[in-house]
Structure 1
Amino acid sequence: MFAKPFRVKSNTAIKGSDRRKLKADLLAAFPSLSAEELSELVPSKEECNVVKIYAHKGEAVTVYVLHKNPLFFELEKQLYPTVYVLWRRPTLLPVFRTWAPVLQKLIGGADLMLPGVVVPSCGLPDVNQGDCCAVTIVNNRAPVAVGKAAVSRSQMQSSGMKGRGVCVLHTYKDYLWAFGDKSVPPSLPDDESEADGTDEENCEVGENDQEEETEQSLEQLSSDETVSDQARCIKELSLAEQEGDNEESSSYQEDDNQDEQKTPQGEMDALLLQCFLHALKSKVKKSELPLLTSTFLRNHMFSCCLSGKQLDIKKSSYKKLSKFLQAMQQQYNLIHVKELTKGVESIVEVDWKNPQLRSFSIPEEADAESSVLQDEADREVSYHPPEITTLYSVSVRVEPLFLDANKRKGTTMNAAEVRSIITEYVKKNELVDENNKNFVTISPSLCDCLLEKSEYQEVEALKWDDLFSRTLGRMQECYQLVFPGQAPLIKKGHIEPIDISVASRGSNKKVTLIKNLDVYGLDPAAVATALQHRVQASTVLHPVPGTKDKVLVQVQGNQIHQTGSLLLNHYQIPRKYIQGLDKAPKGGKKK
């Protein structure tokens, strides 16, 4: 459920009455909790927040947060603990054990299939379908996933341990975990002989040697009998996922163990180093030096990022480009960075003979530049601005003028069709002024449809243009959006322009706000990412106050000029549908 980013709708401090209700609900959902444990999890005098979110598939979820860590989440009126709670109370839920490589699939959004469950000597936990349960990995009792049992224990056994076992809702390393402090699971020995008040209380000692052998085998990736059993189990699990879930790919690979050890921050550090070496080896020329560090990042490193990956320095351990380049200079002596002008750093020297650089091999997947260019081309093809047409809907008041043309209330037309029908109506009823063809004589029907009460005795004729404008003014204005390959979409009212504005935040910091992107079929998240790459500033999505599903993009700094350039040149949105471009900062000569 949280394998992809979610959207925060609201984040408020919990009220006293809601705190008491939460405690009562937790006691009902988890009767094994003592009063002391409950008070420790939800303290009375510490601030606890209620965060309402929408998951990527649209599910409404309520999350209870303490000390910035999500403790419980509520889905369809059922409470589930997060891994942060289970690391403190590992015996809170019935537990299913599995092999370590399976965790990577659970993090990716897969459910736990029964062939991947490691059955202890005391048997499976006693669960019914829909019961809340946890998942641990062999040799560690610290839960790494939370979900609900897909079937009861008896059904699991009768099926021969085939099919889905646990419908996984939340895992270690997913986006709900990342909403907290991103701590890692504690090391809790997984010894079946221990009686911790769990379902394994009556299990007998008999597998210690086997588990130690399994742990040693996993670490060394040897070909011991236990590892072969594990591999066979994972292979069966892969086949079961393909049959049960019909997912794109469920095969487990040997290098999952290595991927599992990498944190998201470590992965970004590795990607940064790869793009850095790739850019130096294939992009930067000696004639370009000295090269601005910002230009090096924007024009060279980004273009070396493999397709499917996204380079984001803020998600690395370095946080800033200057710190990363400083590390490359000190650790590898690859480059020499110097501040040629105050506050502006440049790469002034590159050691092309450095062993680290010479031994680096460019990934086969790229020709990264052509990869990126292709990605950009794909993005351009994937979005085309809609064709926008202003329409008019027949209202009750003017319906009599359109009956001869068989246009009833609610029928939509463009201005040219309205003009044609009204012209035909006037000619058919011989209302053109005989003395002056530029005027139309007001008939009783036209009087009722187009004139105000105060005009009934005064206005006897109207000019053609006045006749048309009055008719359009008394019709319901609409607009039609036509996206390539899609059916026309008609909506009432004026089309809202994309609104770009600048607001102040704390300490007089400026931010740029972009609203109404969704009206034009633009994905706010995609626009935010594109702007982040263009201006190298942080972006965030916020719900639009007073609306249910609309979001706005917030960009750090006054970025009206760059935003306008992106919308006009890249997305090809007509200028008349963009509001606020005149607020861009004016360029001037520095004194």
Structure 2
Amino acid sequence: MFKKKPTIKNLSPLRSSDRRKIADQIISDYKISIPSNPAETSSDQTAKSSTPTPNLSSVRNALLPENSLTARFTTTAGPDLREVQGIVYVGAHPGEDERVLWFKIEHGPGSDRKLYPTVYTLWQNPDIVPLLLTPDMVMRKLQGGADLMTPGLANDPPFDPRAVKGSPVAVANINNYTVPLFVGICEIDVSALGEVQGTKGHAIRGLHWQGDELWAWSSSSRPGRPAPEYLEGWDEEETEEVEEGVAGITLDENADSAANENREDFVDASPAPEPDTAPDFKEPTTKEIDDAFINAFIYSLYKLKNDNPSATNHGLTLPVSPSMLIANLITPYLPIYHPQQAQHYNIKKTSWKNVKKFIKHLDKLQLIKSKDRSGQETVVLDVDFDDHRVERFVPYRLPSKSALDNASKPAASEAKKSTANGDSDPAVGQTLTVQTLYRPTGKLAPTIFPALSASDPKNFYKFSEVSTHLDQYLQSQDPPVISRENRRIITLTPFLAETVFASSSSEDQGTLKRGKTTRDGLLKRIQEDRTLLQPHYAILKPGQTLAEVKPKSGATPKALVTIEKRTGSKTMTKVTNLEIFGIIPGLLAEELQKKCASSTSVTQATGAAKGIMEVLVQGDQRKAVDAALVRRGLKSQWIDLVDKTKKKK
């Protein structure tokens, strides 16, 4: 159903009353039991389990969390690409980012106006639908868009009595039998099957699966979340019974041990528990840190390819910014097993010293294709998932989440404050320096400036340096051109007359007739003439120098905030030109949505290069946008505000 990327329109908040109503409808449709009086739970039962007894409110929140959003979607399905329309419900479970949790098909093939869960909902709500099993080979076919045929069922009868014709079901890989990866509808009464072998025909029509475009969608442009390795709530049968099911589809008498070995091939081994005390280890060399960063990147590609075999770019959203590269594709895969190791495995300890040079090195290794964008940011345009180093990669043990959490504890209280505020945006708190530079053309070299190549980093000058070079030229003239009575008055030299004041404008012609000009007027005339000085700019991040950054041509950039009316009287706030400052549009939209309690969206900026996005926020949110941009290192003079809602005089 969602093999093609759906078009999801502007998200809008779901009212609390509507959320409760929808959640209650889900509880009714899926026959989810809720204890009528939790207080009656016996003390024996309480002693057996530390899990709180669920009540109506907690069940509602688990199915459809608070602050959920809704939007309409359109996509195409089937060989004839028939249009499908419906509604998605987006929300975030505790500790997770926003994802599509439920969807409803209202028009087009398969429309029945029923609510269906995504795998993200199933991973949080065990046993709300029947779970069927299928071999790994069949699961790969399902994740490519195929339907499940009856011979592909790996369960032994009797099947779940809820798996009747027309009911929603989930399907898991028999090698990872507690994790649903596929959602579909029964086309036959599966519960009535007496045996599977020898039967034919469709059993389950696919709607959604891990790896499709609905799974990959994120309001913050993050890649889809990989499936967990084990979910306790879905493991209702004894392990021995599951092993018997696996043995039924093998040919060897030692099927149990073989099945366990195969299971290790398809899921990552659980990370070993972290020791309470720091182990003895020597400080890694620069080469070892470099190798760890490269291996971490290859591991991330290997994991994406195995987790999302049929998704576009295996679930990776391109282009990848430097901050997203480090946060999502490097740090989780570094061999940090203890907090003391964290201080060694950071980009400044590598031989590259910064992310830009690291990306260039990956490009040199032909693992990626990179490109320098405006604002000195180097992004990853493409990734080679078929590289032999990815194909032959042997996974190593990854640190547990607790190890990574502990590694971040020595970071100052500022990090804790950031986490408390829900800030996961790497741009928040950054310090930026914007330098305005000028490159002299051949008309001024070598008379005023030295003759250097256009690409020479020394051939870019700050305004103060331009002024200094002009003073040196004026003071070197013989006879003197600086007036003794008033040092601000300059007598024109033949060079100045023929080069600087050579236009036919009335100002230049008047200056030539007088034969004199002011020193400030001369400097301004040179600065404003692009045939003499070409303006450039450089945006420096902490620790960067002009020698490390290639200046970009043009005037100093600014973030543009536009207040305008759309569709009649609806006021919108549009924010553009963010990427140049290292700001991730999706994460900014996520923050504004929560701060403003308004619907937001991120779309391709009109008239801009592909990949340059704009953030839209409902309402006049200029103050909130300004505050969010200042938090990301922008100064007020780098922000332009255009109010198109004012009436023209």
Q: Bin the TM-score by the shorter chain.
A: 0.3 to 0.5
TM-score normalised by length of structure 1: 0.44
| Larger relative contact order (Cα-Cα within 8 Å, sequence gap ≥ 6) | 2
Task: State TM-score, norm by structure 2.
Answer: 0.41
